Amino acid sequence: MLSVVLSYGLSGIEGFPVRVEVNLSRGITQFELVGLPDAAVKESRERVRTALKNSGFSFPEGRLTVNLAPADMKKEGPAFDLPMAVGILSASGGILPEAMRDTALLGELSLDGSVRPVRGVLPMTISAREQGVKRILVPAANAGEVRCIEGIDIYPVESLRAAFSHLRGETPIDRLETVEYRQLLGERTPQVDFSHVKGQKSAKRALEIAAAGGHNVIMIGPPGSGKTLMARCVPTILPDMTFEEALETTRIHSAAGLMDGGTLLVERPFRTPHHTASSVSLIGGGVHATPGEISKAHNGVLFLDELPEYKRDVLEALRQPMEDGFVTITRVNAQSTYPSQFMLICSMNPCPCGNYGSRTQPCRCSQADIRRYLNRISGPLLDRIDLHIEIESIPPERIADDTLEESSEAIRERVETARAVQRRRYAGRGIQCNARLDARSITEFCRMKPDARKMLMKACDTMKLSNRAFTRILKVSRTIADMADSDMIELAHVAEAVQYRTLDRKYWG
């Protein structure tokens, strides 16, 4: 007897339908699995057989053939365990085919028959909904990530036994209640807050500008001055993600198996790959073209601590995705496109020993050492960074000091206002924020008052700034003007922006 169960496979961050066909015929008892399964799928046989037995079912006698269609696409992962087991039960007459109409199943089986979480439940559920599937059974542990999905009935399953009773209509499982995204937003509790950062007035102001205009940032400061803490705080002052953004980001995290039972992401991701990271781990790749750190940081922050320590080719590989906002990864087995729009925050010491520019600690590095250290950062990458922020080391008495610092929420409100100004201005032009302005739109949107222009010219002349620095300063002053809700860029805005080009200065190396 033949039975068909619908399931979903994962290709990048898209789900594709997989028909799990089970045929039971007379013959010597054996279990054949076809349809391009990978190792984990092949092992399904043992898990399914044992799980069935341990759930109190008898394994059917006869020749059992399982086909995963379409047969020309590689299937990976253990998500087909549950559909296979259900298919076998159906093929041996336990479940009626009608019960499984318009229903998809996902889940790995444990030997005791319980259903274990799998990765990619969110993208697969979204794809199922788009393709008109009405019901989906997902592992209970994955229920969190699909809570906000409407338009498809989701049933969290604890075990094979529960799925069996549900499909037979004996003890139906309760449909998952959908939760409003707004409600999730209200429930979040961020781990860090800018009120934890003492002092650092200049750095905070600069990061606020960066958040308001979506600018990439490099922080330069001695070890222990709080660069990492401040970078961690940046997601808390970025505008709240829209539902679409949250969905897109969670999709990537789900496909990458990072969910760990969590709900839809309500906080912007903060990814901090170690400096020994390979370009594959950063960009994405591997046998199955899995997403890299830049995609995991989509809509959030990618933090590269100790920038000069990263391998040069790794940093070079960052350039293209940063420009495009997505990355396409092609491998023998798979080709996937992942979005990768992130805010880049880098940090570095001012010199190899870290004390250059400090008044208390002597710097042991020679000019040549410092120059070599700085030269390790690729010029083209530096070109994509609008703000250079110098971080002062904070004396211990200031850290202990408990004057009240401004909270992330207060800063975020100002950031949201500045973003709203930009959204209005760039409506219908496909530009999200000032950082994304290209050469032509800069001349259109970054209009300066005459005295501001004069000032910028003079600054370029005396500080020997390049053309590139010129446009960076313009973009940043545009953001500063937006924060002050000023249509034209004024002298004070340019004057402030000039302060954020530290690395262009000649005293540096």
Partner 1 sequence: MFYTDQQKYWIWLSSIRGVSTSQFYQLINEYGEPGYVWDQLILARHILAPAAYRHLKEARSQDYLDELFGQMEESDVTAITQPDDDYPDRLRSIPEAPPTLFVRGNREVLNAEKAFAIVGSRKITVDGARFTERIAERLAENGVCVVSGLAFGADRKAHEGCLNGGSPTIAVLASGPEIVYPRENEDVAARIYEEGGALLSEYRPGTKPATHHFPARNRIISGLADGVLMTEGTARSGAMITMNYARVQNRPRFAVPGSVYAASSEGPNQLLVEGALPCISEKQVFDYFGWKRVEEPADMAADALDGLDETSCKLVEILKFEEKSFDELANIMKISPSSLNSLLTILEMQGIIRQSAGRLYRAII
Spatial distance between the Cα atoms of 371 and 233, rounded to a whole number of angstroms: 30
The residue among 205 and 319 lying less far from partner 1, judged by its C-beta, is 205
Ordered strands of the 135-139 beta sheet: 30-34, 63-69, 14-25, 2-11, 103-105, 135-139, 153-157
Given candidates 132, 186, 362, 428, which one binds partner 1 under the rule CB under 8 A?
Answer: 362
Of residues 256, 480, 481, 489, which one binds partner 1 by CB under 8 A?
Answer: 480
226 contributes a contact to partner 1 by CB under 8 A: no
- Rounded Cα gap, residues 403 and 76, in angstroms: 55
Among 144, 289, 493, 504, binds partner 1 (CB under 8 A): 493
**Nearest alpha-carbon partner for 266 in 234, 301, 294, 235:** 235
Q: Which one of residues 121, 137, 230, 459 is an interface residue with partner 1 (CB under 8 A)?
A: 459
Nearer to partner 1, 36 or 491 (CB): 491
Q: Is the dihedral of CA 184, 186, 192, 193 positive or negative?
A: positive
Number of residues this chain uses to bind partner 1 (CB under 8 A): 37
Is the distance from CB of 208 to CB of 496 less than 8 angstroms?
Answer: no
* Closest to 328 in 3D by CA, of 73, 77, 12, 14: 12
- Residue 453 sits in the site that holds partner 1 (CB under 8 A): no
Q: Which of 70, 78, 94, 199 binds partner 1 (CB under 8 A)?
A: 199
- Binds partner 1 by CB under 8 A, chosen from 303, 356, 373, 445: 356
Residue numbers 377-406 binding partner 1 by CB under 8 A: 390, 392, 394
Provide CB contacts within 8 A for 158, sequence distance 6+.
114, 115, 140
Residue 358 binds partner 1, judged by CB under 8 A: yes
Which H or E run contains 234? helix 227-237
Q: 53 vs 464, which CB is nearer to partner 1?
A: 464
Minimum distance from CB of 480 to partner 1 (Å)?
Answer: 7
Residue where the block lists tokens 């839809």: 264
Is residue 229 at the binding interface for partner 1, with CB under 8 A as the rule?
Answer: no
Q: Does 458 bind partner 1 (CB under 8 A)?
A: yes
**What is the smallest separation between the CB atom of 307 and partner 1, expressed in angstroms?**
17
Least distance from partner 1 to the Cβ atom of residue 292, Å? 34
Alpha-carbon distance of 261 to 118, in angstroms, equals 10
Listed residue (28, 165, 148) closest to 86, CA to CA: 165
**Do 40 and 288 meet the contact criterion of CB atoms below 8 Å apart?**
no
Q: Which amino acid is at 407?
A: S
What is the C-alpha to C-alpha distance for residues 184 and 416, in angstroms, rounded to an integer?
A: 19
The single residue among 366, 375, 443, 466 that binds partner 1, judged by CB under 8 A, is 366
Which of 357, 385, 411, 412 lies at the binding interface for partner 1 (CB under 8 A)? 357
- Residues within the interface to partner 1 (CB under 8 A): 199-202, 204-205, 350, 356-359, 362-363, 366-368, 371, 390, 392, 394, 455, 458-459, 462, 480, 491-496, 498-499, 502, 505, 507-508
